[in-house]
Amino acid sequence: MGWGFGAGRSAGRRPPIARGVEQAGEAGEDSEFGQADSPSVSSPASPRKPARPGLSLKGRALKLLSQREHSRLELGRKLTPHAESPDQIEPLLDALERDGFLSSERFAQSLAHRRAPRFGLRRIEQELGAHRLDPAVAGPVLQGLRDTERERALVAWRKRFGESAADPAERARQHRFLAQRGFTGDSIHWVLRHGAAPPDDAPTGDPDESL
């Protein structure tokens, strides 16, 4: 099911990330006792192969980005402990953005896509805000979520409850469940009023009808 949160804005596609992103090697070929398995004690020990270097800072960044989209703030925080100097971080992030590996637009859409089936607008808006995204980036994504808020709240309600509350205590419990998921008050009231109706009969018109 598409939630429509990316409508009207194309985030572009990320360039492919090579599979062999500087994998760290093993330190040596010795046995578990720390010595080579040669049966001859008189023969000179074979020289150790030098250990291959670990991931470079850029290699580490590409490995993280190959796993999922990251915001600039999130990726910078993950890379900082591995940098020789804090001054390395911003130029690297600039280069990753310039080359299309790091994208705030793709991150916002990816986060919304992962959260939309379970959480409401307020919860996702709060999470996007924690990444300090530009409003021009977060705005279209949030508008798409706003347009599908009732539909998503109804899906969450039907999955958890599926029938109207029999008494005020149960209604309060259902309301609390949806509120904790971050759905707006309007969508919660609408679902609690119309959720038990067959899908084709549930009204979808004026938002004020639920008030």
Q: What is the 3-state secondary structure (H, E, C) of 110-136?
A: HHHHHHCCCCCHHHHHHHHHHCCCCHH
Residue 87 structure tokens: 């001054």
Contact criterion met (CB below 8 Å) for 74 and 96: no
Residue 125 structure tokens: 């808006």
Distance CA 199, CA 1 (A): 15
Distance CA 113, CA 3 (A): 8
Mean pLDDT to the nearest integer, 117-132:
96
Tens-place pLDDT, residues 52-73 = 567 899 999 999 999 999 999 9
Which residues, in sequence order, are CB contacts of 16 under 8 Å at separation 6+? Answer: none
Please, what is the Cα angle at 11 between 139 and 184, to 5 degrees?
A: 30
Q: Which residue has the tokens 């904790």?
A: 180
Tens-place pLDDT, residues 149-196 = 999 999 999 999 989 999 999 999 999 999 999 999 999 999 999 887
Going along the chain from its start, the domains and CATH numbers come out as: 57-102 (1.10.10.10), 148-210 (1.10.10.10)
Residue 176 structure tokens: 């609390």
Q: Which of 44-48, 70-74, 140-144, 192-196 is predicted least confidently?
A: 44-48
CA distances from 70 to 77, 150, 182 (A): 11, 28, 22
Q: How many CB atoms lie within 10 A of CB 170?
A: 13
Measured distance between the N- and C-terminal CA atoms of the chain, rounded to whole angstroms = 28
The pLDDT assigned to 88 comes to: 97
Residue 21 structure tokens: 């992103």
